[in-house]
């Protein structure tokens, strides 16, 4: 059975789509057949970050409406033979998503032998987000180290526990993972950001990864290349670590402590 994983948060702009692209790409690079679906109907962005925007012919809603087959709409990534993208529609309304239609697409992906289906959720709790959440086996709660972002993520945890298919059917709860993005240990030490421990105390779910605040994320997105391919970048390495943990590997948590300045730097500044 495919593992259906939603990448979600309560707040917009926390890095869900960047994380969806990086995690899906990382899984594919590790040899896992992976599909990533953009649930943000009307505001398509996943294809841009994955660099396949010019190759979109059919989209998620075309498949739901029977205007194209799933195989016609899936875009094979040029960098990894194991990664396929199902883009959102830019011109349709979020109400185009139906329970029956989404269930059918997920079932087809399972039948096609996909090991992972990553669902890139819109922000908040509107229709597209609820559809992405409903069918999830696992959820990656993506949050920035700020109070409003963490509070909104806590709301999403409540929805997962109450309104997912697993909750409705009385099945084992949706497995929850915490991904902290745009983390800067120096700003934490300065009291400008919540610490990892602060966030864990509030949300109380297992930590999947900490992605450092990094220019490499923006650079990669602008180039249409998921940052996980930037092997020398700290953010790329952090996403690689998160992917490894997702498939059961034990990896130490990097980029959570501020670097100590050397004696020379403390004397001469810098």
Kindly report the length of the chain: 270
224 in a known ligand binding site:
no
Cα separation values, 73 from 76, 114, 174, 204, 230, Å: 10, 15, 28, 38, 28
pLDDT of residue 266: 44
Residue 260 has pLDDT above 60, yes or no: no
pTM comes to 0.92
pLDDT of residue 238: 96
Residues in CB range of 67: below 8 A, 6 or more apart: 58
Per-domain residue ranges for the chain?
Answer: 3-268
Which tokens is 60 given? 């998620």
Give the CATH superfamily of 3-268: P-loop containing nucleotide triphosphate hydrolases (3.40.50.300)
> What's the mean pLDDT in 118-137?
89
Quickly count helices (H) and strands (E) in the chain: 13, 8
pLDDT of residue 170: 93
Residue whose pair of structure tokens reads 């040899």 in the numeric block = 31
pLDDT digits (tens, 9 = 90+) for 179-224: 999 999 999 988 899 999 999 999 999 999 999 998 888 888 888 8
16 in a known ligand binding site:
yes
11 in a known ligand binding site:
yes
pLDDT of residue 92: 72
DSSP reduced 3-state for 107: helix
163 in a known ligand binding site:
no
Residue 84 to residue 74: CA distance in whole angstroms = 6
257 in a known ligand binding site:
no
210 in a known ligand binding site:
no
Residue 19 to residue 111: CA distance in whole angstroms = 26
15 in a known ligand binding site:
yes
- The CA R_g of the chain, rounded to the nearest whole Å, is 19
């Amino acid at each position: 059975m495919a593992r259906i994983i939603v990448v979600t948060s309560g707040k917009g702009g926390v890095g869900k789509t960047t994380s969806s692209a990086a995690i899906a790409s990382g899984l594919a690079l590790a040899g896992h057949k992976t599909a990533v679906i953009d649930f943000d109907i009307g505001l398509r962005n996943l294809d841009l970050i994955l660099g396949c925007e010019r190759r979109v012919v059919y989209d998620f809603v075309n498949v739901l409406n029977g205007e194209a087959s799933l195989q016609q709409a899936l875009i094979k990534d040029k960098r990894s033979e194991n990664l396929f993208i199902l883009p959102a529609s830019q011109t349709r309304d979020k109400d185009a998503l139906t329970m029956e239609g989404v269930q059918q697409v997920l079932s087809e992906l399972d039948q096609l032998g996909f090991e992972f289906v990553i669902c890139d959720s819109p922000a908040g709790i509107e229709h597209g987000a609820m559809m992405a959440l409903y069918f999830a086996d696992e959820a990656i709660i993506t949050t920035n180290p700020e109070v409003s972002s963490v509070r909104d993520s806590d709301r999403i945890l409540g929805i997962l526990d109450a309104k997912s298919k697993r909750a409705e059917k009385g099945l084992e709860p949706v497995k929850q993972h915490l991904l902290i993005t745009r983390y800067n240990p120096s700003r934490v030490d300065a009291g400008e950001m919540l610490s990892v421990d602060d966030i864990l105390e509030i949300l109380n779910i297992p930590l999947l990864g900490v992605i450092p605040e990094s220019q490499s994320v923006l650079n990669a997105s602008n180039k249409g290349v998921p940052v996980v391919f930037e092997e020398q970048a700290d953010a790329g390495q952090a996403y690689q670590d998160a992917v490894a943990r997702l498939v059961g590997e034990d990896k130490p948590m990097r980029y959570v402590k501020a670097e100590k300045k050397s004696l020379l730097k403390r004397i001469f500044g810098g």
